[in-house]
Amino acid sequence: MARILVIDDHYPMRQTIREILEDNGHDVLEAANGFSGLQIQRTQHADLVITDIFMPEKEGMSTIREMCNEFPGIRTIAMSGGTGDLTAPEGFIDLARRFGARATIVKPFEVDDFLAVVNQVLCEE
């Protein structure tokens, strides 16, 4: 199906997402922060990038912005389980969309909801 790069500093979350995606036929690449995610994208080119927003070293907002600048047309999904009302109009999730994310996911999520967002973004032109 698709090659998907998952960027999240929380190893158990990356593993959970990997299992969900692989169980649905996707090839999964992993990175613990935006720096390594960008390096992986430069060498192995994923069809979709799913990145956490809050990470040490290189957080998700700048990762999304750089991915979109360096790889025009790249499909990105931002996700976060951070504190505060992330779905508020000026929240981080909304900001991620302005930086180039095609969709957003709030953690924790239901597997079916997660897969629906992934499939929707993969089907976009």
Q: Which domains does the chain have, with CATH numbers?
A: 3-123 (3.40.50.2300)
Q: What is the pLDDT of residue 40?
A: 98
- Which CA distances in Å does 104 have to 39, 82, 95, 112? 23, 13, 10, 14
pTM of the shown model: 0.90
CA distances from 11 to 2, 29, 47, 68 (A): 22, 13, 22, 25
- Residue 98: predicted pLDDT: 80
Could you tell me whether strands 3-7 and 27-31 are parallel, antiparallel, or unpaired per DSSP bridges? parallel
Tell me the pLDDT band of 89, cut-offs 50, 70 and 90: very low
Q: What is the enclosing helix (H) or strand (E) of 78? A: strand 75-80
Q: What is the mean pLDDT of residues 11-26?
A: 97
What does the pLDDT look like over 31-69, one tens digit per residue? Answer: 999 999 999 999 999 999 999 988 888 888 899 999 999
